Chain A
């Protein structure tokens, strides 16, 4: 790896780590220190307005309904999410943000807006387009790696079960 590549790698890792740390700090400053960043992103998946089913939200967040159920249990206990069974079909569970959940969502959104404004404001249109292109390419690579590890993990499980 040459100096330029080392610098790019260092910046990418630093940005990834520090965004997570700063998001957590921002939650603490906004009186939502009891929320983890993962829980905050679950609130984002539920959305600010209409009640959503568990299945819809799990799909949106790319998690299983079992994983989501555990997360929602905690968020209900902490007062950020309200959960109700559908009046007509009791199998359907709908979730929505409480007032406290909406406030956390909005403050978190503001953090993201400030972050994006800080990055985008000094850039000209062509630079903005280039930034989107570069970030999309990074996101695609990460998705591909994620998919590859998932496939390898499944193959490993199959091999074990055949032994």
Chain B
């Protein structure tokens, strides 16, 4: 996946996180931790996961989602999933 496509995934993820947490997308950065910085609990995490699955036609397990620590990790994870599914 090239840089343009990475940017598209990143923007989509930011938009989904912003919508679930009810915050502005421009307040989110890639280095943020899902747990400590964004305060994403299990319910919010799975809301984000379900929206990502719908957007990219992916299947993401709870375990895969629970292992994600930062926004950057989530972006890379989605890109990797899109490549392999």
Contact = CB atoms under 8 A, between A and B. Distances in A.
A102 B47 CA distance: 9
Interface of B is mostly: helix
B43 A99 contact: no
Contacts of A161: none
Interface string B32-61: 000000000011001101100010000100
Interface string A43-71: 00000010000000000000000000000
How many residues of B sit at the interface, in one of the four size bands?
10 to 19
B43 A103 contact: yes
A109 B62 contact: yes
A99 B50 contact: yes
Contact of A107 (B42, B54, B59, B63): B42
Nearest to A109: B62
A109 B62 CA distance: 8
B59 A103 contact: no
A28 interface: no
A106 B46 contact: yes
Interface string A93-105: 0000001001100
A102 B53 CA distance: 11
Interface of B: 42-43, 46-47, 49-50, 54, 59, 62-63, 66
16 contacts: A30-B42, A31-B43, A49-B59, A99-B47, A99-B50, A99-B54, A103-B50, A106-B49, A106-B50, A106-B62, A107-B43, A110-B42, A110-B62, A110-B66, A113-B62, A113-B63
